[in-house]
Structure 1
Amino acid sequence: MKKDLRFERLRKELEGDLYTDTTQRILYATDASAYREVPVAVTRPKCTGDIKKIIAYARNEGLSVIPRGAGTSLAGQVVGPGIIMDVSRYMNRILEFNGEEHWIKVEPGVVLGDMNKYLAPFHLQFGPETSTANRCCMGGMLGNNSCGLHSLLHGSVRDHIIELEAILSDGSEATFREMTSDEFHDKCEGDPGLLETKIYSNLREILSDPLNADQIRREFPHPLLKRRNNGYALDVLLETDPFTGNGKKINICRLLAGSEGTLSFTTSMKLNLVEIPEQKTGLVCAHFSSLQDAVRANIIALKHKPAAIELIDDYILNCTKDNIEQNKNRFFVKGEPKIVLLIEILRDTIEEIDATASALESELRGAGFGYHFPLYTGSEEISKVWELRKAGLGVLLNIAGRKKSVQVIEDTAVLPDLFPEYIFDFERILDKYGLSCAYYAHIATGELHLSPLLDLKDPNDIRIFHSLAGDVAHLVKKYRGSLSGEHGDGRLRGEFIPLMLGQHNYELLKQVKHVWDPHNIFNPGKITDTPSITDNLRYPTEKRKRIPGTTFHFPEEEGLLYAVEKCSGSGDCRKSSLMGGTMCPTFMATKDEDKSTRARANILREYLTRSEKKNRFDHDEIYRVMDLCLSCKACKSECPSNVDVAKFKAEFLQHYYDSHRVPWRTLLIAYLPRLSLIGIRVRLITNMVTDSSLFKRIVGFSVRRRVPSLSKTTLSGWHRRRKEQDKEIRDLKGTVCLFADEFTEFNESDIGIRTIM
């Protein structure tokens, strides 16, 4: 009780929101990873002052804070037992923009896609573009050091962060930016009582030590590898003027990129922008019969200076066949290719694109690689192909059976020239475990997303999950690659950082963490002191639960529960109205997590797997989250996993009403056509009653909602009276069928009449 009172006092001090109820805590217990930890509270700060108060509260109470944007992280970065700070709801403003100097200053909750929409009229964009661009937040991109499809051209967030403002663990504010050596040393010699001074001084001490420098250069991933996100970027800071005399200014922002919110809490960031290419675009969709042919073809394709090369395999292509949205984007696929490489070409003219594509095809065919090389230059066609590629993770959850595509070794990166040998060794590891694997990749920059098929409810597969991760970590180390190319370490890969970077360097990372955050407030258990990757997995491993007696047919192997678990948490349902599409209208209107498709799947899964009640649907928490679902079915078509929440809601309500009486509101809507048939006989009285506040309160409607009034006549009645005239029209014009639903029949018959007239 005392703890609740303390939270109550904090709630009153905040301008934003604070929740400690079970529902909100469950909804923020997962992200797009395989992990689940229920936080002690959820906050949605509105300003820097709120963030300071929450950090101070956490420090005083011995709690932690976990920064969160859209919650699309794949490695469990935003899962934890502390206080969630969701910046996506309020801290999502564009603060300043300078088109001439090509920079923009934003709060961490700004969505990448929305920001690029804002920049488009100025012919500018933020370079790194992730597949989650329509919902991911800039704070999350900074925390993960995200890359994207065009990292060959634009690199990662680390390459574009100019300056950031942050709250340190003691509540003080700091601004990090590019500095000369003299400015850096001045910072190191500042007030020794300031945490900021200690941070700079510690970095100088670590990176000035020749032994440390040697170990960093020896053990960190290869410096030519563009995608490398293991640990803190000490290797990047080392190669600057204060430590090498190379004239390159130091910027601590580059250390914070990829730090996963474990060192400070970012309140704003100043970002470099790039011009939108005015060149023409072509996309070659090269088909291959084997993975080895494709990875060797990638090396050849790189010589032709492409803007991007992406790899998708037959697992993904086959999954798109049954996906309503992505099936329309398969027009470029011929036959049953094992692999397709999407090779984007930017040139000044279409003729140059044609020439490059022709030369590329000729060289690949000459080397014996590939059998079909269609070229597309239309923007609509190219956009559809990229949409299919971006849907890769989601559609993989449509694979039938208990074993599903699992994120565990999905973020490895090695130099592209080493890919053929690396893939050969990797397939030997898969053979060792008898596993199948889906491949999709940013192959131009050495990033390979490998998704083995495992059942994380099966204790044996969980053991494989762990040992497979260890085997692949050793393999990546052999090729001096990075276990994380863009998705970050999080809960998933932190355990293997001592192996990947060496124990000496790992101790340096722990030292950095301790100096920045001595009380372990910021997102503990990520990067350093990470628990085992098998701790706190999303699914219980006890006896499997099947939901008996469902009203609808769920053909999946484990019925309704399996269908619900197809939601990966990728957050496609969190896109804004600016991004197009329909899913999810209630989230678009409110920006609240509990109004999203993902939330409805999460709350249903939680109680179906963990409820102790005989009727596991009998929970008001599920009812409240499901209540605002409009049953529009947008999720069934737009969700890459085809999650059908409208069907789930109908199934849930049937079971819920088995334990509770059906509300008057529901009965009224269900029998509306019959009631309207009676009410229209005394239309004026009916309209007066249904429009009254008393009626709305009794039935359960909001008093602010307008109940549709009954029309003067029904559509069918009007049509019968005009039967002869309608016959003449039918004879002259042919037959038109008009479906008259109950609203057109009783409430808006004038629309139907005008349509017929």
Structure 2
Amino acid sequence: MNHRTIDLKLQQQLELLRDAMDGEFFFSLSDRLMYATDASAYRELPLAVAYPRNKEDIKKLIRFARDHKTSLIPRTAGTSLAGQVVGHGIVVDVSKHMTRILEINKQEKWARVEPGVILDELNLVLKEHELFFGPETSTSNRCMMGGMLGNNACGAHSLVYGSTRDHTIEVSTILSDGNEAVFGPLSNKEFETKCHGDTLENQIYRNISGILNQPENREQIKKEYPDPEIKRRNTGYAIDLLLNTQPFKAEGELFNFSKILAGSEGTLAFTTEIKLNLVDLPPKHKALVCVHLESIEDALEANLIALKHKPVAIELMDKAILDLTKENIAQNKNRFFIQGDPGAILIIEFAAKNEQEIHEKAKFMENEMRNQNYGFHFPVVTSTDIPRVWALRKAGLGVLSNMKGDAKPVAVVEDAAVHPRVLPAYIKEFVEILKKYNKDCVYHAHIATGELHLRPILDLKNPDDVQLFHQIAKETAYLVKKYKGSLSGEHGDGRLRGEFIPIMIGEHNYQLLKDIKNTWDPDHIFNPGKIVDTPLMNTSLRYQPGQQTKEIETVFDFSNDLGILRAAEKCNGAGACRKTELVGGTMCPSYMATRDEKHSTRARANILREFLTHSAKKNPFDHQEIYEAMELCLSCKACKSECPSSVDVAKLKAEFLQHYYEEHGIPLRSRIIANIATINLLGSYLPVVYNFINQNPFLAKLNAGILGFSKKRKFPLLSSRRLEKWLVKNGQYASKEYPNGKVYLFNDEFTRFNDADIGIKTILLLNKLGYEVIIPKHLESARTFLSKGLLRKAKQIANKNVALLYGIVSDETPLVGIEPSAILTFRDEYPELVDNALKEESKILASYALMIDEFLEREMKAGNISKEAFTSDRRKIKLHGHCQQK
């Protein structure tokens, strides 16, 4: 599997470290594989993974790294795009324990946080104080402040709020010698004092003083560093900014090392606390003008017009991304403002103290664009629809993985920033580079600040494209240099762009960066191989050049993804599954409960991909590591809709379990759950006895213990009568006329046995609304077999249900279901599960299968149900949405 083994001596040393830590420490192969990748193209197997609980744990890790000549890779959400958090050392994940908001000062507008605080969660708390942290990334619901500092993250509104560096007041760190140091603003006298002494901190200050006081260095920095007017600039360490502070520039700001710690990618020190500047909440009145354009070229020119009207943000989405959002369940709903088939859309946000001012700005801008023949549709989006548009834009990175095949839009030159006035010329030359190699590109994101995310479409399993990966990056670096730009605007250098820093800032300045790194971190403990001394950027990739994707036989039809392995490969590591319950959504409940990476959607996809790719076994699913990763997956299918890449882990898990059980047998508990409909059928002949057994405390606990259930769990009880028996006995509602025709009710196994009263009320409601209700002949839905991975049995049921119901159900007489997880099997699983001979029938049947709420909504829109049919009484109801319904 191309991994380093840990010998007995090293294992013993790692065990001692684990036992000494207050937090957790892991070095099993599966734990290491989960942290071998981030959201970039890279893969490096770490030595171990640590979840430090406090500063003392970090000091122990530093001491171990120094003594054993290994390294530490600081990590938060692991969403980096340039390989910043992959490496062969110990990954130090602060996202689980170091998550406290330590202090908020409303009067002085600052907050002190630990590095594992999530941006959206911080802003939720700050909202109560009418403040927020300005820089806002597209990953704001899971990115953390330590990562934002390390990458100097920006966001869509950087026109107004700049970057994380602009809002960092002070950084508390642990240095490579294990001592603590706080870096904040210093007066000239304080700076001079810091330069004297024998500590590592003193050496660090002396080093920068010597560098920035040297005339040749000053001249080279001013000459070679990017245009200072560029807002987004992350190339190397920001010593050009330090040169403009006191004591090196008399009228400059106070010297503050946090200027270079922002964007240093954890290569200089380990961050433990950050003091952040806060700003007032943005104006309440805002609107988006979503300008539809014919082409990227038109968008580049329209952007320059928009900038003149002082918007707070301008973002671009190109046709490729817009088309891919159609295939994502959640994002397809957010396309409400799109008309026709635009070649590009500019999302332009205006904010002001009143709505009139906003609409005036929007209208003036629209008129100017129309006069110059840019744009053909200018919808204005306001109020609660604004977050939906931004959600569509933020999903851009994730949906790119939905592009079918091995060729994907890759992060390689996606982060280059130039001044907006030269952006059209820069893009024109960039397109010529791609034309030379006959490659296409995806364009999106921060057009306002001159940083379009440009993603060439490459197949990094193909050796030729791996070489192009390097060649395009190199040629683009020279092009960005020509326009005095920054090769990284916000995503960082990492190991993706570090190789080209000498091109960007000159060899002289590059040697200064190496000098700084060697002073701060002489043993290269902190994240080596990033920014300086980086390996070749087209090595240690996630896929080996020339790697053939295995064809693996499956029960489910994965042909739409070109096989199960490519279905797992759709996960690009963006980490949308790592959001918590505080910021909304359903994905991923097991991660929300544990905050462990191993219980995230991303980890499950990574583990499955790794073992299926590298397994030498006849049955590639026969790995206990995959079983452990999948164990806490609830099969809620939230990932299918909420994951921007539409990674359906519930489907992957079911397929895995089928093959795993073929080697190891089916556990009793899984058999019981899968066959619950049969058990309930037998119990329904004597429901009183069945319910007594399950309600009796002693018997219920005894059964739970035997069957492997929690003794705290209550077993579902049976209804006193089965739904179909009630319908036979009671017939339809008293009225004999049904003006709206008939519907077929899917008598699912849960409603039928456990909640017959809900079924009865559904029938009565439909009768009252003018529908005849018929329960057709069918089997159970197979949901329980699907959730426990017994796919071959589920396939038999699906085949029979399709055969029984196709030809009966139609658009006029749909199949209506009460239990979402049951009726949705017809739409979600059956078309990919049934025999080939039944596929077309299954797809047609799926289009006629509706949840009860969908059916009622459809009929109301069609005018078949009027509002007068319902009471005008106001009532409070409790609504708990089904996970698979969401």
TM-score, normalisation: structure 1: 0.96
SS in 2 for 1:492: coil
| Amino acid in structure 2 at the alignment position of 1:699 | L
TM-fit CA distance, 1:692 = 5.0
Instruction: State how far apart, in whole Å, the 2-side matches of 1:565 and 1:597 are.
Output: 12
Worse-superposed segment, 111-120 or 287-296: 287-296
Gaps of 5+ in 2: 1-7, 765-886
Q: How does 1:473-488 map to 2 (within 5 A)?
A: 473-488=477-492
Match of 1:267 in 2: 272
TM-fit CA distance, 1:649 = 0.9
Say if 2:261 and 2:268, in contact at 8 Å, map to a contact too: yes
Say if 2:463 and 2:546, in contact at 8 Å, map to a contact too: no
Q: How does 1:517-528 map to 2 (within 5 A)?
A: 517-528=521-532
Instruction: State how far apart, in whole Å, the 2-side matches of 1:712 and 1:434 are.
Output: 66
Worse-superposed segment, 286-295 or 418-427: 286-295
Instruction: State how far apart, in whole Å, the 2-side matches of 1:448 and 1:720 are.
Output: 62
Match of 2:786 in 1: none
Instruction: State how far apart, in whole Å, the 1-side matches of 2:246 and 2:450 are.
Output: 29
Q: How does 1:409-488 map to 2 (within 5 A)?
A: 409-488=413-492
Equivalent residue in structure 1 for 2:393, among 383, 389, 393: 389
Say if 1:490 and 1:527, in contact at 8 Å, map to a contact too: yes
Match of 2:361 in 1: 356
Structure 1 residues 635 and 271, CA, compared in 2 at 3 Å: closer, same or farther? same
Equivalent residue in structure 2 for 1:563, among 567, 576, 582: 567
Worse-superposed segment, 549-558 or 322-331: 549-558
Match of 2:813 in 1: none
| Amino acid in structure 2 at the alignment position of 1:82 | G
TM-fit CA distance, 1:383 = 1.4
Match of 1:15 in 2: 22
Q: How far does the alpha carbon of each residue in 1:525-572 deviate from its partner, in whole angstroms, 9 at most, with x for none?
A: 000100011111001334513333211111236311111111111001
| Amino acid in structure 2 at the alignment position of 1:73 | S
Worse-superposed segment, 67-76 or 279-288: 279-288
Instruction: State how far apart, in whole Å, the 1-side matches of 2:598 and 2:736 are.
Output: 51
Match of 1:505 in 2: 509
Say if 1:690 and 1:696, in contact at 8 Å, map to a contact too: no
Instruction: State how far apart, in whole Å, the 2-side matches of 1:678 and 1:312 are.
Output: 57
Equivalent residue in structure 2 for 1:700, among 708, 713, 727: 708
Worse-superposed segment, 348-357 or 59-68: 348-357
TM-align CA RMSD:
2.1
Match of 1:142 in 2: 149
SS in 2 for 1:243: coil
Moved >6 Å (runs of 4+)? 729-738, 753-757
| Amino acid in structure 2 at the alignment position of 1:66 | I
Match of 2:39 in 1: 32
Equivalent residue in structure 1 for 2:639, among 635, 640, 665: 635
Instruction: State how far apart, in whole Å, the 2-side matches of 1:12 and 1:570 are.
Output: 32
TM-fit CA distance, 1:614 = 1.4
Equivalent residue in structure 2 for 1:242, among 232, 243, 247: 247
Q: How far does the alpha carbon of each residue in 1:191-242 deviate from its partner, in whole angstroms, 9 at most, with x for none?
A: 22x1100001101010110100111111111111111101101001010121
Q: How does 1:183-198 map to 2 (within 5 A)?
A: 183-189=190-196, 191-192=197-198, 194-198=199-203
Q: How does 1:610-625 map to 2 (within 5 A)?
A: 610-625=614-629
Match of 1:166 in 2: 173
Instruction: State how far apart, in whole Å, the 1-side matches of 2:552 and 2:571 are.
Output: 21
Structure 1 residues 206 and 297, CA, compared in 2 at 3 Å: closer, same or farther? same
Counterpart check, 1:728 vs 2:734: yes
Instruction: State how far apart, in whole Å, the 2-side matches of 1:249 and 1:279 are.
Output: 34
Instruction: State how far apart, in whole Å, the 2-side matches of 1:516 and 1:33 are.
Output: 27
Match of 2:218 in 1: 213
Q: How far does the alpha carbon of each residue in 1:123-156 deviate from its partner, in whole angstroms, 9 at most, with x for none?
A: 2110000000000010000000000010000000
Equivalent residue in structure 1 for 2:341, among 336, 339, 342: 336
Match of 2:783 in 1: none
Match of 2:105 in 1: 98
Structure 1 residues 163 and 556, CA, compared in 2 at 3 Å: closer, same or farther? same
Equivalent residue in structure 1 for 2:263, among 240, 258, 265: 258
Instruction: State how far apart, in whole Å, the 2-side matches of 1:287 and 1:3 are.
Output: 60
TM-fit CA distance, 1:109 = 0.2
SS in 2 for 1:346: strand
Match of 1:650 in 2: 654
TM-score, normalisation: structure 2: 0.82
TM-fit CA distance, 1:693 = 4.9
Say if 2:621 and 2:656, in contact at 8 Å, map to a contact too: yes
SS in 2 for 1:344: strand
Instruction: State how far apart, in whole Å, the 1-side matches of 2:54 and 2:380 are.
Output: 49
Instruction: State how far apart, in whole Å, the 2-side matches of 1:704 and 1:515 are.
Output: 59
Match of 2:773 in 1: none
Instruction: State how far apart, in whole Å, the 2-side matches of 1:541 and 1:656 are.
Output: 30
Q: How does 1:732-751 map to 2 (within 5 A)?
A: 741-747=748-754
Worse-superposed segment, 629-638 or 669-678: 669-678
SS in 2 for 1:537: coil
Q: How does 1:307-322 map to 2 (within 5 A)?
A: 307-322=312-327
Q: How far does the alpha carbon of each residue in 1:685-723 deviate from its partner, in whole angstroms, 9 at most, with x for none?
A: 46659955554444333x344141533724438736962
Match of 2:543 in 1: 539
Q: Percent same amino acid at aligned positions?
A: 55
Structure 1 residues 541 and 744, CA, compared in 2 at 3 Å: closer, same or farther? same
TM-fit CA distance, 1:402 = 2.6
| Amino acid in structure 2 at the alignment position of 1:489 | D
Match of 1:593 in 2: 597
Equivalent residue in structure 1 for 2:48, among 41, 53, 66: 41
TM-fit CA distance, 1:333 = 1.7
Instruction: Give the length in aligned residue pairs.
Output: 752
TM-fit CA distance, 1:370 = 2.1
Say if 2:621 and 2:660, in contact at 8 Å, map to a contact too: yes
Say if 1:93 and 1:106, in contact at 8 Å, map to a contact too: yes
SS in 1 for 2:314: strand
Match of 2:296 in 1: 291
Q: How far does the alpha carbon of each residue in 1:89-146 deviate from its partner, in whole angstroms, 9 at most, with x for none?
A: 1110110011111111110000001111111122211000000000001000000000
Say if 1:456 and 1:539, in contact at 8 Å, map to a contact too: yes
Worse-superposed segment, 510-519 or 678-687: 678-687
Instruction: State how far apart, in whole Å, the 2-side matches of 1:309 and 1:176 are.
Output: 34
Q: How far does the alpha carbon of each residue in 1:363-419 deviate from its partner, in whole angstroms, 9 at most, with x for none?
A: 22222322222222x222221111111111111122223311101010000000101
Gaps of 5+ in 1: none
SS in 1 for 2:496: helix
